[in-house]
């Protein structure tokens, strides 16, 4: 297989090419560009190729890249429709061990007993813990030879579980909040420190807010807090991550507010009309995968400004070392720091007319 620009895609395709074809479907997980899915399809002509991507944004990129490749189908659920009958699963290793555990559990449970799982990543982002996770679900796990600072973990002999561990369940006694987390959801079944800081100001959220958005909702803790604090409000929880929206829906259900929290998977605040929201809550990410990147956070803040009505409020929490204050004032309007320590800053911004 001709080398690709991305070394992880390249080594995964070389490992795929080295395996003898077997009758059955092939599944691709966590492609980022479409090159991996298209490459696998080219190596297995006529074989059904199914793909799943956690990120809504990456999924759109992959969908565009495989347009015109009829053997490829993109699906949204890590279950039997995706994995049933699969004899080969090719995946880019996710950032977190929980996301890998959920994927490996599903592959072992639903794929063909003869399935081979190829999981590739950059060596600097791989850990022994990844081998251990795969060994929970497969009887044989080995590492490939490295190439271009990348490596593939090869797992065989699945050990299927009868039930799934996911979503993981947690309870925060201080906040009285149930937490539910699917594999790749940020912070898992716990309350991260930034979200905890923002929840501490829930009593100051505008009492007359009727339309609330939790933007980049993660496990949905801000959405649930808004629903409990503002009983007259409807809450929309938005995230680009499949694991996040599944988690947010489960968290809302576990806290008894599912009837007032709507969860959607979308890019930023896609589908929300301009000037239609009274209150936006946001704990923006400052990483993309394994790389530090504030670009997504700035996009979230800009879209928050778009959907807020004049006089509507954006409450944000972010790491105190990040220079977001000037950006908030430029994008949204008047912004005040309402809480700050060495770790986190909480701000209240009012949308300019």
Share of the chain above pLDDT 70, in %: 97
pLDDT(44) > 90: yes
The C-alpha atoms of residue 210 and residue 233 are separated, in whole angstroms, by 4
pLDDT bracket for residue 290 (50, 70, 90) = very low
pLDDT(287) > 70: no
Question: Taking Cα atoms as reference points, which of 33, 65, 38, 50 lies closest to residue 106?
Answer: 50
The C-alpha atoms of residue 164 and residue 273 are separated, in whole angstroms, by 38
The C-alpha atoms of residue 156 and residue 137 are separated, in whole angstroms, by 9
Contact status, residue 299 vs residue 292, Cβ threshold 8 Å:
no
Question: Which residue segments constitute the domains of the chain, with CATH numbers given?
Answer: 7-158 (3.40.50.150), 168-350 (3.40.50.150)
pLDDT(173) > 70: yes
Interval 105-125: pLDDT, tens: 999 999 999 999 999 999 999
Mean pLDDT, the chain, as a whole number?
95
pLDDT bracket for residue 4 (50, 70, 90) = low
Question: Taking Cα atoms as reference points, which of 280, 216, 293, 234 lies closest to residue 56?
Answer: 216
Question: The pTM is what?
Answer: 0.94
């Amino acid at each position: 297989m001709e080398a690709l620009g991305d070394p992880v895609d390249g080594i995964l395709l070389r490992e795929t090419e080295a395996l003898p074809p077997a009758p059955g479907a092939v599944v691709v997980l966590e492609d980022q560009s479409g090159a991996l899915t298209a490459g696998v399809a080219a190596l297995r002509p006529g074989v059904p190729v199914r793909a799943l991507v956690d990120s809504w944004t990456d999924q759109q990129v992959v969908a565009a890249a495989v347009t015109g490749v009829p053997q490829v189908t993109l699906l949204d659920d890590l279950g039997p429709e995706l994995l049933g009958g699969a004899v080969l699963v090719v995946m880019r290793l996710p950032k977190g061990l929980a996301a890998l555990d959920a994927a490996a559990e599903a592959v072992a449970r639903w794929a063909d007993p003869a399935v081979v799982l190829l999981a590739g990543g950059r060596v600097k982002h791989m850990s022994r813990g990844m081998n251990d996770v795969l060994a929970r679900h497969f009887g044989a796990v080995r590492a490939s030879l490295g190439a271009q600072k990348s490596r593939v973990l090869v797992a065989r002999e699945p050990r299927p579980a009868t039930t799934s561990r996911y979503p993981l369940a947690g309870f925060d006694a201080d906040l009285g909040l149930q937490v539910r987390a699917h594999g790749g959801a940020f912070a898992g079944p716990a309350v991260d420190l930034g979200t905890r800081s923002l929840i501490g100001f829930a009593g100051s959220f505008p009492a007359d807010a009727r339309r609330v958005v939790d933007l980049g909702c993660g496990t949905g803790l801000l959405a649930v807090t808004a629903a409990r604090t503002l009983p007259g409000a409807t809450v929309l929880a938005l995230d680009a991550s499949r694991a996040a929206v599944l988690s947010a829906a489960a968290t809302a259900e576990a806290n008894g507010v599912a009837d007032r929290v709507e969860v959607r998977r979308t890019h930023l605040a896609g589908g929300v009309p301009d000037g239609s929201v009274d209150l936006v809550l946001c704990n923006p990410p400052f990483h993309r995968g394994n790389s530090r990147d504030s670009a997504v956070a700035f996009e979230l803040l800009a879209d928050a400004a778009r959907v807020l009505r004049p006089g509507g409020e954006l409450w944000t929490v972010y790491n105190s070392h990040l220079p977001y204050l000037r950006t908030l004032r430029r994008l949204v309007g008047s912004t005040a720091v309402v809480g700050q320590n060495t770790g986190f800053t909480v701000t209240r911004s009012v949308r300019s007319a």
